[in-house]
Structure 1
Amino acid sequence: MQLASIQIKGPIMDHFPIVQALCRAAMATPNPALRKQIERLSAALKEAGEAKQAGTLNGILTSAERAEEMAPSRLVRSKAAFAGETLTPNTPLPVDKETSSVLAEVIFPHQISATGPLFSSPVEAAVKSLLDEWNHLSELEALDVAPAKSCLIFGAPGTGKTRLAYWIAKQLDLPLVVARLDSLMSSFLGTSARNIGALFSFAGRYRCILLLDEFDSLAKLRDDPQEVGEIKRIVNTLLQNLDARYEVGLTIGITNHPQLLDSAVWRRFEIQLEIPVPDLPLRLEMARAFMVPADVPESHIKLLAWFTDGATGAELETLVRSYKKLRAVRGDASEEVFDVFRQFATMNSGRLSKPKRGLLFGDQANLISALHDAESPPFSMTELGELMGRDKSTISRIIKQDRKTKKSD
């Protein structure tokens, strides 16, 4: 392969974070020509011995491919399938008649990021299946079936549920009507039920996706002994409106507390999609994505993923942001990466597991040994030296001494 036309030296390597950011921005709306040029650049970097930078570009290409795989192939047909009038920025929004508070806000497709959220393969497959249904309407009609009209997304806070709902609206090229649940719930007897009716009436009039975020605040268990009769009326009204909207368009509910939902509410949703906390491979992918445009050693990415076992994507993003801030203030000294984790663990004590917090603030030899013994992801002696600011032989001596000490104890 002839790569002589791409010169991998001097300025291009000095400014690789800019090159990386440009490639990621370009792949937000990919085409074959762009992809080919990034592939050529990646191959040239690899041939020049810049394996880490080549791997970064390959990661950008892989992420773009995954987003394309999830995206529907025909947007116009899905949009046409939604009955009703067209929403515009000037469309009057529904309000609470008692307080004049707006009951919803409208997010238009152009306001939503084109970059898809990162999820595990099973979740991505489920989302792709939903989008495919809306883009194969004639095939479904031939079998006398309709695409899914309701989807409940649940999971721990910070797992990307709301971001996913926004991205679905982007892919179907439809406005997202986001219910303001604080306005829906009124202190006036009977007003809350009326507000729910007004919201659904608005969503049913226009071509849109209705999003009920923090859904559990509306759909509490009707037999909750702590609740008065008003909440029962609210849930009944909600059920009636969900039934009526089924023939109109797509409704998405989101909850962090699925155990609070009435069983009758669960039955109203065809798709019940749980978003789990990310596993290690996904945390690695997320860390690389969140790190842009910073150009950091791969060992730091692996360390971020290793320390955040059990954390959500939002928590990992917060940690990466803290890392980037400290790097901007103090420079790129590798050994200071642990300062980020200690600072983060102090300010966010609930976001790192107790054993790993103990390693952070304990004896350095224990930390080095724990990283060396990690099977997923594995850390080489070179990477441990890079993280600790030591050479490989020193790291090896520390590990041997630590094992000897523990054995004698």
Structure 2
Amino acid sequence: MAFPHLSEVLKILDGALKSNATMSTNYAGLLADKLEQDGERETAVRIRERLARAPTAVAHTQDASRISAGLPVDQESRLDTVDVSAPVKGAVTLHLPGGTANRITEFLQSVRHYDRLRAAQAALPLRLLLYGLPGTGKTQTARWIAGELELPLLTVRCDTLISSLLGQTSKNLRRVFDYVEQRPCVLFLDEFDALASARGNERDVGELQRVVIALLQNIDALSENTIVLAASNHERLLDPAVWRRFPFQLPLPLPDHELRLSMWKAMLGPFVPVNLNLEAVSTKSDGASGALIELVAMDTKRQAILAGKPQVDEGELFRRLALAMALGQGETLASLGDEICWLRKWDAKIFSIRELARLYSVSTRQINHLIQGNHGNAGKSPRKR
């Protein structure tokens, strides 16, 4: 039978053996929290009473203000190399396909029952690699996981971690991983490809190779129950050796029709017009990321609120969606005429001359004039950036 909370007990012992009071007290605080959750309130109180006698006691491991003390810094810029946040459980809403959501739940179960799995020799290192196009929810997923585990989220800042000084980046990595080992938290390596790009490229230099090697060595040196999340928009750039360090790998796809439909319903909420055809909105947003859908929904709701309307305007919703997708496709709509021609090309039925006149508060004659003024571009897409 697995010993409950063995991981925390071992971390406390590690801290004591290393004469690291911070590590011991941090994990003692986490042990007290877990015991209280298990109904062992008296034992938790006794642990906290003992911690209270220490000058640097940590009674609440989730307190981000405490964990922020002594953050690792880059010696060149003197800036912190990690950002600390404390996501609240239930504050982040995830919109993911069912299969993807199930795999995240599986990862959480592996974290929560790590000691039982290890006792049965079925535990895997608690490392999850998230990858997919921008806007598919990688950062939101990291925040959600930290919130569900009620642990601080330490996000590595690649802009300060990567130094211009020879060898400094590897030292920065070592400081970050040493810091993470001393406290219960979730380490989040965002924009992971900036650190873990494949070695051997023609443009590669020795220093970049050393950074990848240092990264791999630091990951290997971590305790297997230290929670590490990494996110990449360019997974093909990652070094092959990196993939082997992450037994949990999760692609985050663009939302399909059904997921887009549920996202529009959730994000527009009570601002959805009674007659709005959400099926059509979902269809027209094919290829949009979750971040783009959220942006359009928020912008349209904000416009309705400022106009004193209880619901969003259907035409305005489609207009903002069309323009956001144009931007995402690299279209440059330099003039009002370009914009109107794009809307007509995007869907002439939705954006009739009369509807465009209403949306832009001009006459139908002016709309026709703008279209005719852009007649040379009417049969082709506006300029690409």
TM-score, length basis structure 1:
0.64
2:94 aligned with 1:102: no
Q: Secondary structure at the match of 1:186?
A: coil
- In the TM superposition, 1:235-314 aligns within 5 A as 235-297=212-274, 299-314=276-291
Counterpart residue type for residue 205 of structure 1: Q
- Quote the offset at 1:306 in angstroms: 1.8
1:333–1:116 Cα change, 3 Å: closer
- In the TM superposition, 1:21-60 aligns within 5 A as none
- Once residues 231 and 313 of structure 1 are traced to their aligned partners in structure 2, the CA distance between those partners, rounded to angstroms, is 33
Q: Secondary structure at the match of 2:249?
A: strand
Which of these residues, 141, 150, 171, is aligned with residue 194 of structure 1?
171
1:82–1:150 Cα change, 3 Å: farther
Please tell me whether the aligned partners of residues 109 and 169 of structure 1 are also in contact (alpha carbons under 8 angstroms): yes
- Once residues 237 and 73 of structure 2 are traced to their aligned partners in structure 1, the CA distance between those partners, rounded to angstroms, is 27
Q: Secondary structure at the match of 1:299?
A: coil
Which of these residues, 151, 154, 158, is aligned with residue 174 of structure 1?
151
Which of these residues, 103, 113, 118, is aligned with residue 126 of structure 1?
103
- Partner of residue 345, structure 1: 322
- Once residues 363 and 118 of structure 1 are traced to their aligned partners in structure 2, the CA distance between those partners, rounded to angstroms, is 27
Instruction: Give the aligned length.
Output: 291
Counterpart residue type for residue 290 of structure 1: M
- Once residues 333 and 198 of structure 1 are traced to their aligned partners in structure 2, the CA distance between those partners, rounded to angstroms, is 52
Please tell me whether the aligned partners of residues 134 and 147 of structure 1 are also in contact (alpha carbons under 8 angstroms): no
TM-score, length basis structure 2:
0.68
- Partner of residue 62, structure 1: none
Q: Higher mean Cα deviation, 181-190 or 285-294?
A: 285-294
- Quote the offset at 1:256 in angstroms: 0.4
- Quote the offset at 1:82 in angstroms: 8.7
- Quote the offset at 1:104 in angstroms: 0.6
Counterpart residue type for residue 265 of structure 1: V
- Quote the offset at 1:288 in angstroms: 1.2
Please tell me whether the aligned partners of residues 304 and 312 of structure 2 are also in contact (alpha carbons under 8 angstroms): no
- Partner of residue 344, structure 2: 361
- Quote the offset at 1:360 in angstroms: 4.1
Give the root-mean-square deviation of aligned CA atoms: 3.1
Please tell me whether the aligned partners of residues 96 and 195 of structure 1 are also in contact (alpha carbons under 8 angstroms): yes
- Quote the offset at 1:115 in angstroms: 3.8
- Partner of residue 208, structure 1: 185
1:279–1:79 Cα change, 3 Å: farther
Please tell me whether the aligned partners of residues 71 and 80 of structure 2 are also in contact (alpha carbons under 8 angstroms): yes
Please tell me whether the aligned partners of residues 197 and 237 of structure 2 are also in contact (alpha carbons under 8 angstroms): yes
- Quote the offset at 1:165 in angstroms: 0.8
- Once residues 152 and 305 of structure 1 are traced to their aligned partners in structure 2, the CA distance between those partners, rounded to angstroms, is 29
- Partner of residue 391, structure 1: none
- Quote the offset at 1:106 in angstroms: 1.5
- Partner of residue 13, structure 1: none
1:134–1:362 Cα change, 3 Å: closer
Identical columns (%): 33
* Structure 1 unaligned spans of 5+: 1-75, 369-409
- Once residues 172 and 165 of structure 2 are traced to their aligned partners in structure 1, the CA distance between those partners, rounded to angstroms, is 11
- Once residues 221 and 329 of structure 1 are traced to their aligned partners in structure 2, the CA distance between those partners, rounded to angstroms, is 49
